[in-house]
Amino acid sequence: MKRIKHDILYTLALLIIATILAFSFFHFVKNNSANIALIYILALILIARYTTGYLYGIFSSLFCVIFINWFFTIPYFEVNFTLSGYPITFFCMLIITITISAMTTRLKKQDAMIAERERELNEAEKERIRANLLRAISHDLRTPLTSIIGSSASYIENESDLTPDEKTNLVTTINEDAHWLLNMVENLLSVTRIQDDGSKVIKEIEVVEEVVAEAIARLKKRIPDASIQVQAPENILMIPMDPLLIEQVIINLLENALVHSHSTRPIELNITEEPTTVTFHIIDYGTGIDETTIPDIFKGQYKNSLTSDTHRGMGIGLSICATIVQAHNGTITACNHEHGAEFSFSLPKEDTIS
C-alpha cells in the first residue's frame, strides 16, 4: 500500500510539473506542440523508470496525448484525433512508455538479485568470522581459564602450607589471566558492534595522536611496565575512524608485541603519513613470525608455531584487528624484518562508502 501511494503521488507530481512547464513554454512559443510533447515524453520516461509496473506509464501516456490535444493543438479545448500524424504521436508515446517500463522492471529485478547476492555474501562473511572466533576461542579461553582454576584450587587447598611468595605468585597468575580474559571480552564486544551495524562503523574525524595516547594509557593499566616508543609526524593528523575500535586494534597489536615477541628493545609505534592514508607501524625486536603462518595470520586460526609463547594465542586478537581495519576500508599486514617482526595497518584519510 505504501508503494502504491508513492507511485501515485510521484506520477501526479511529475505530470503537474510537466504541465506547468508546457504552459510556460506554450506562452512564449505558440503553435509548437512538438516541443511540448518532448516535455511530456521526458516525464513519461521518469514515471516509467521510478514506478512499479506498466499501469502508471500507460495512464500517463493516455493523459499526455489527450492533454496535448486538448490544450496545445488547434482547435483548442477540443479533443480531435483526426489531426494528421496524431495517432502516430500517441502510438510512439505508448511504445516509449512500455519499453522504458519493461527495461526498468528488468533493472529492478537485477538490482534485487544483486542486493540479495550482496546480503548472502555479507552473511557468509559474518558466518566465517563467527566460525574463526569460535575456533580461536576454543583454545584461547581454555588456557587462561584452566590456569585460573588450577591456581585458585592450589591456593584454597594448600593455603596453610604456602609461603607468602607462593601465595603472591598464585594470585598474580590469577590476576594476569583475569585481565587477559577481560581484554578478550572487549575484543568480542568490538566485533559484535561491527556485525550489529552490518559490517559498517560510524566514523568521525579524530586526532590520531589522541587515539594513540588513549590506547597506550589503557594498555599500561594492564601492563604497567610496558616500554613503548612512539614516533609521529609533527603536523596534526586527523582521519575518520571509530576511536574505540581503532584503540582496540592498537592495544591488540602492542600487547602481542609485548607478550609474544620477547623483544630485546622497546616496542616501536611509528605513524607515517601518505598522500591518501595514515599508517601505524608496530615494530618489535624479538623472535619474529614463522613465515609459514603469515598468509593466514589474520584469519583467526590458532597456530602453535605462531610464537614460542603459547600461553595465550594471538589468533583471535589478530582476526579482530583485521575485521576492524577492513570495516574502516583500510588494510593490515604482517612481515618480518632483520631483527624481529612488524605489524602495520593503514586507514584512509577520507571517508569512503563500505
pLDDT of residue 210: 95
Residue pLDDT, tens place only, 102-132: 777 778 788 888 988 888 887 787 777 667 6
Cβ count near 24 (within 10 Å): 11
pLDDT at 86 over 70: no
Cα 202 from Cα 155, distance rounded (Å): 46
The three grid cell numbers given for residue 262, joined into one nine-digit string = 620477547
pLDDT of residue 301: 54
- Cis-peptide, bond into residue 75, ω within 30° of zero: yes
**Under a CB-based contact definition with an 8 Å cutoff, are residues 183 and 144 in contact?**
no
Helix (H, G, I), strand (E, B) or coil at 281: strand
**Under a CB-based contact definition with an 8 Å cutoff, are residues 7 and 52 in contact?**
yes
**Under a CB-based contact definition with an 8 Å cutoff, are residues 269 and 212 in contact?**
yes
Residue pLDDT, tens place only, 312-344: 555 567 888 888 898 899 999 999 999 999 999
Residue pLDDT, tens place only, 243-257: 888 998 999 899 889
pLDDT of residue 178: 86
pLDDT at 348 over 90: yes
φ/ψ (deg, to 5) at 234: -70, -35
**Under a CB-based contact definition with an 8 Å cutoff, are residues 302 and 140 in contact?**
yes
Q: What is the distance, to the nearest Å, from the Cα of residue 204 to the centroid of all Cα atoms in its chain?
A: 14
Helix (H, G, I), strand (E, B) or coil at 340: strand
Give residue 179's pLDDT band: very low, low, confident or very high (50, 70, 90).
confident
Which helix (DSSP H) or strand (DSSP E) does residue 207 occupy? strand 204-207
Q: What is the distance, to the nearest Å, from the Cα of residue 261 to the centroid of all Cα atoms in its chain?
A: 31
In this prediction, residues 53-57 reach a mean pLDDT of 74
pLDDT at 354 over 50: no
Cβ count near 245 (within 10 Å): 23
Query: Burial of 153 by CB count in 10 Å (0-12 exposed, 13-18 middle, 19+ buried)?
Result: exposed
Beta-sheet pairing, 267-273 with 228-231? parallel
- CATH topology for 201-354 is Heat Shock Protein 90 (3.30.565)
Cβ count near 21 (within 10 Å): 15
**Under a CB-based contact definition with an 8 Å cutoff, are residues 203 and 348 in contact?**
no
pLDDT of residue 253: 93
pLDDT at 18 over 70: yes
Cα atoms in the 13 Å half-sphere on the side-chain side of 116:
6
Residue pLDDT, tens place only, 259-269: 888 888 999 99
Measured CA distances, 17 to 22, 35, 93 (Å): 9, 15, 18
Model confidence, pTM = 0.56
Cα 343 from Cα 333, distance rounded (Å): 6
pLDDT at 85 over 70: no
pLDDT of residue 308: 40
pLDDT of residue 124: 81
pLDDT at 277 over 90: yes
pLDDT of residue 309: 45
pLDDT of residue 307: 42
Cα 347 from Cα 123, distance rounded (Å): 25
In this prediction, residues 70-81 reach a mean pLDDT of 69
Measured CA distances, 158 to 12, 46, 163, 166, 174 (Å): 86, 83, 10, 10, 16
**Under a CB-based contact definition with an 8 Å cutoff, are residues 250 and 289 in contact?**
no
